[in-house]
Amino acid sequence: MRIVLLGAQGSGKGTQAEKLSAELNIPHISTGDIFRDNIKRGTELGRLVKEYADKGLLVPDEVTIRIMRARLEQEDCSNGFILDGFPRNMKQAKALEEFSSVDRAISLEISDEEAVRRIAGRRNCPKCGRLYHMVYNPPKEDELCDVCHVKLVQRDDDKPEAIKRRLGIYHKETEPLKDFYKEKGVLLLVDGSQGINDVFSGIMKALSS
């Protein structure tokens, strides 16, 4: 099963992709995670993408497409994958078509108000990358990772100015992909405004229908 997850920032793509990956036993591939990991390790790719990612701007398509093409060629993707954050515009969607088909595109639907509310509470563990939300999915101990016990951090691009910019880019560049996948007959819309487990049930129901 080759799945693309669509949805505004804060719609829960990362959280649901992790759950789907465990349920379907296929890898969760997040372009944002790949870029952040490279930035953290100070690789050449990291240095190249840092200024875009920090400001909430899209990394140039050529770079993103090259990275994703190489990633999807890896052995663990042979039975399928869940893409989170790619494709992000029409050029990337057309490029993806050249190296892989898409069986389902799942769009997690939420309002901008809810997106902003959620992103403001989002934190992650700087050591293991585990995701939390201070209201909807809080750590057991105050602001500490349940597993690593280090202090959780907020992504630079989750700060208010960057959020506004990223939501604007989503509506202009990414949302049109819903029509693109609808025309191909693979689009599924799921209400992303519910709690984590209800959204997951909605996704599984949509996938089996």
Could you say whether residue 16 binds ligand AMP (CB under 6 A)?
A: no
Query: Among this protein's residues, is 88 annotated catalytic?
Result: yes
27 vs 56, which CB is nearer to ligand AMP? 56
92 vs 188, which CB is nearer to ligand AMP? 92
Candidate residues 10, 12, 27, 32; the one interacting with ligand AMP per rule CB under 6 A: 32
Q: Residue 125: how many CB atoms within 10 A of its CB?
A: 20
26 vs 162, which CB is nearer to ligand AMP? 162
Query: Among this protein's residues, is 118 annotated catalytic?
Result: no
92 vs 190, which CB is nearer to ligand AMP? 92
Could you say whether residue 56 binds ligand AMP (CB under 6 A)?
A: yes
Preceding amide of 139 cis, omega within 30? no
Binding region for ligand AMP (CB under 6 A) out of 18-26, 27-35, 116-124, 130-138: 27-35
- Identify the residue whose tokens are 């669509």: 6
Query: Among this protein's residues, is 123 annotated catalytic?
Result: no
Query: Among this protein's residues, is 13 annotated catalytic?
Result: yes
Cα separation, 162 vs 174, whole angstroms = 16
Could you say whether residue 58 binds ligand AMP (CB under 6 A)?
A: yes
b/e for 178-208, b at 16 or more Cβ within 10 A?
A: bebbeeeebbbebebbeeeeebbebbeeebe
Could you say whether residue 31 binds ligand AMP (CB under 6 A)?
A: yes
Could you say whether residue 136 binds ligand AMP (CB under 6 A)?
A: no
Candidate residues 1, 50, 52, 134; the one interacting with ligand AMP per rule CB under 6 A: 52
Q: Residue 133: how many CB atoms within 10 A of its CB?
A: 19
Could you say whether residue 92 binds ligand AMP (CB under 6 A)?
A: yes
The residue at minimum Cβ distance from ligand AMP is 32
Could you say whether residue 158 binds ligand AMP (CB under 6 A)?
A: no
Query: Among this protein's residues, is 41 annotated catalytic?
Result: no
List contacts with ligand AMP (CB under 6 A): 9, 31-32, 35, 52-53, 56-59, 64, 85-86, 88, 92, 157, 166
